[in-house]
Chains A and B, each alone.
Chain A
């Protein structure tokens, strides 16, 4: 049977979505700056975030390399180490990973849900420019001795103000993405029929929005105190502990959710099979995302939170939906023969990374293992970071042709599979192992104290992992760059016989995404429905 309705020709797309912005008449730089096209904004996010992500991973490698010799600072000066440490963390998440994932979502999600444009296209464009300005100011503030424990009061204030600008901008972009999934879907497409990546951005985006809101509260209080006499919350050694919860359990769990969403879309497409028990799969992903709300678990206000029952139960509980999600995908893989494309390999590494993050988080919470306060905590966060990088890579190779309009070289992606696997395993695994040995992380005073045998070697391995991940980012850029500048052959509209609506339009899509009307959607795999209907009609 067909799930589409064949009616007389219509002139609109059938959704009451906000009208797509008209093509920008300006070309060149003016066209880019003035654009409200979600595809251009998505590309801008992807391009600039790659630069910040690479820099953040290099800084993280340098910070970890300092641990090779715990007797003193060998690479960085003792008064700059902590600044570089905090900058690497902030840049990883807010200048690198979140913007890259948001960029991917801004490009792909409206296509996946059959919308002509993202919800609030001008706000999406404003979010990018605000984020870019804030990121630039943040880096400038750090370079002039700002940051959480900086010595230049003006630069410290600038770093806090720019951090607020970055957070507001990312929150604005998330509102656009989440609203797109919620309100401008194609006719007939229910919320439980959206593609898995769109669903992942819906749930993870909502949780990130709440996490960012809480972090804004932290930053506002710190800023107000810093702008006066810094009596309590603005004291240099106390500032970072108020912000670092975003880089720990459970907030980091939400970082892997988009990767899991990409994995599901890739697995379904590459196997050519529908995902069984689709709503259940979405439910498991939603549960993982919900358990990644971390605003309540701030150790600076409650040092014992990691040993409290709620933390233990919720952390361990996160493993169950993650396993359920993996089981659903394993069933899909079992029923089909996946294509051996780069995206497939990267998706499977992403799934492994997501499971490892959830499992490591659950182990961290087990009270009898006494891992609270050790580097196991940072190991979980680093696993999440590596997994998110893998997800971005998988997205670039899966949707690369759709995004850039030119085919992305698949062989480069296949090379990335072992690189990112090793990088993630070293980057996170070394800290997990050090934590199991009882090693404590870098403190707010910036000191790295080797408290466990082998901690120095493991710090070196973590540094190597960060360097390998940085190499992976370079490889992603090198693989995508030719397509981004118009090289290679034009990409097909639907190279994989995809299930979902983004494959129903040209690569890259026209300015209004879908020049031809979209049929009423009746399942999570509308294009497969159409093919099956066409096959049945031909028999």
Chain B
């Protein structure tokens, strides 16, 4: 049957907004979060097993200080606020505020990477430990570090595109980067509590 012919006489309704990139980034972020949280679940399960035997969880000499890890979390929370500021500014086509907000967000993200590297270097947790603490710790924080790095690159590219004139009055590009960034912050909140707070 000549359905193709019939279609010619039936043109479309007004376009919808598909939000393709936003949806795709959300799916990818959920998958990344699921992966890291599954490793965190392994970490907590192993930790409970070891503690139940009467042993201490963290290996001798490990130094997971609370102050730097709190500062790391605070840095990410500040970046969440500045990213929301950027989106607010873009919705109003306020380019000056958007540039400043995106710049500060990127700077805070870079600062987080530097702070994390410092914390890792002084944490004194070897990968190979008798009870598997090192393997699980480095798997979790390493995977999250990569997630933040990817989010930061995405954010940097979005900032450059915004500087180039894209996203004016349409913050969807920034919203897409924000989904990745906010997910990374959410995952860090879980890591911060499960690893640095409870130890």
Q: Do A and B come from one complex?
A: yes
Interface size class of B (residues with CB under 8 A): 35 or more
Question: Residue on B with the closest CB to A167?
Answer: B35
Closest-CB distance, B59 to chain A (whole angstroms) = 11
Contact residues in B for A517 (Cβ distance below 8 Å):
7-8, 10-12
Residue from the set A119, A213, A503 with the largest chain B CB neighbour count within 10 Å: A213
CA A447 to CA B30, docked complex, whole Å: 39
Residue from the set B18, B32, B42, B136 with the largest chain A CB neighbour count within 10 Å: B18
Interface size class of A (residues with CB under 8 A): 35 or more
Contact pick for B20, options A9, A18, A206, A233, CB 8 Å? A18
Instruction: Let me know if A519 is at the binding interface, CB within 8 A.
Output: yes
Q: Mark A483-502, 1 if CB is under 8 A from B, else 0.
A: 00000000001100100000
Question: Residue on B with the closest CB to A172?
Answer: B28
Q: CB within 8 Å of B: which of A290-322?
A: 295, 301
Q: Contacts A224-B135, A518-B7, A530-B6; is A184 near B18 (CB within 8 Å)?
A: yes
Closest-CB distance, B47 to chain A (whole angstroms) = 13
The answer on a CB contact under 8 Å between B12 and A13 is yes
CA A537 to CA B135, docked complex, whole Å: 71
Question: Residue on B with the closest CB to A209?
Answer: B31
The answer on a CB contact under 8 Å between A232 and B12 is no
The answer on a CB contact under 8 Å between A232 and B131 is yes
Closest-CB distance, A340 to chain B (whole angstroms) = 20
CA A295 to CA B39, docked complex, whole Å: 11
9-residue interface stretch from A60-68, A215-223, A456-464: A215-223
The answer on a CB contact under 8 Å between A504 and B13 is no
The answer on a CB contact under 8 Å between A5 and B38 is no
Contact residues in B for A187 (Cβ distance below 8 Å):
12-16
The answer on a CB contact under 8 Å between A16 and B16 is yes
Q: Contacts A6-B10, A213-B34, A213-B38; is A493 near B16 (CB within 8 Å)?
A: no
Closest-CB distance, A360 to chain B (whole angstroms) = 27
Q: Contacts A232-B131, A295-B38, A504-B4; is A530 near B10 (CB within 8 Å)?
A: yes
Contact residues in B for A504 (Cβ distance below 8 Å):
3-4, 7
Closest-CB distance, B126 to chain A (whole angstroms) = 8
Closest-CB distance, B75 to chain A (whole angstroms) = 25
Instruction: Let me know if A381 is at the binding interface, CB within 8 A.
Output: no
The answer on a CB contact under 8 Å between B11 and A8 is yes
Instruction: Let me know if B186 is at the binding interface, CB within 8 A.
Output: no
Instruction: Let me know if A183 is at the binding interface, CB within 8 A.
Output: yes
Contact residues in A for B8 (Cβ distance below 8 Å):
516-517
Q: CB within 8 Å of A: which of B49-71?
A: none
9-residue interface stretch from A174-182, A257-265, A383-391: A174-182
The answer on a CB contact under 8 Å between A214 and B34 is yes
Q: CB within 8 Å of B: which of A246-287?
A: none
The answer on a CB contact under 8 Å between B3 and A120 is no
The answer on a CB contact under 8 Å between B1 and A531 is yes
Contact pick for B135, options A14, A206, A209, A233, CB 8 Å? A233
The answer on a CB contact under 8 Å between B23 and A179 is yes
Instruction: Let me know if A4 is at the binding interface, CB within 8 A.
Output: yes
The answer on a CB contact under 8 Å between B132 and A519 is no
CA A216 to CA B13, docked complex, whole Å: 42
Instruction: Let me know if A7 is at the binding interface, CB within 8 A.
Output: yes
Instruction: Let me know if A204 is at the binding interface, CB within 8 A.
Output: no
CA A527 to CA B2, docked complex, whole Å: 10
The answer on a CB contact under 8 Å between B4 and A506 is yes
Instruction: Let me know if B27 is at the binding interface, CB within 8 A.
Output: yes
The answer on a CB contact under 8 Å between B18 and A232 is no
Closest-CB distance, A56 to chain B (whole angstroms) = 25
CA A531 to CA B1, docked complex, whole Å: 9
Residue from the set B38, B46, B138, B143 with the largest chain A CB neighbour count within 10 Å: B38
Question: Residue on A with the closest CB to B7?
Answer: A516
Instruction: Let me know if B123 is at the binding interface, CB within 8 A.
Output: no
Instruction: Let me know if A505 is at the binding interface, CB within 8 A.
Output: yes
Residue from the set A12, A187, A497, A503 with the largest chain B CB neighbour count within 10 Å: A187
Residue from the set A206, A220, A504, A518 with the largest chain B CB neighbour count within 10 Å: A220
The answer on a CB contact under 8 Å between A213 and B35 is yes
Contact residues in B for A14 (Cβ distance below 8 Å):
11-15
The answer on a CB contact under 8 Å between A519 and B12 is yes
Closest-CB distance, B70 to chain A (whole angstroms) = 26
Instruction: Let me know if B127 is at the binding interface, CB within 8 A.
Output: yes
The answer on a CB contact under 8 Å between B15 and A15 is yes
The answer on a CB contact under 8 Å between B15 and A182 is no
The answer on a CB contact under 8 Å between A224 and B138 is yes
Instruction: Let me know if A71 is at the binding interface, CB within 8 A.
Output: no
Instruction: Let me know if A536 is at the binding interface, CB within 8 A.
Output: no
Contact pick for A220, options B1, B12, B143, CB 8 Å? B143
The answer on a CB contact under 8 Å between A17 and B6 is no
Question: Residue on B with the closest CB to A214?
Answer: B38
Closest-CB distance, A464 to chain B (whole angstroms) = 38
Residues of B within 8 A of A (CB): 1, 3-4, 6-20, 23-24, 27-28, 30-32, 34-39, 42, 45-46, 127-132, 134-136, 138-139, 142-143
A–B Cβ pairs within 8 angstroms, 14 of them: A8-B11, A176-B24, A178-B27, A210-B31, A216-B35, A217-B35, A218-B38, A224-B138, A231-B135, A234-B135, A516-B4, A518-B12, A519-B11, A534-B6
Across the A-B interface, give the 3 residue pairs with the lowest CB-CB distance, nearest first. Answer: A14-B12, A519-B10, A232-B132
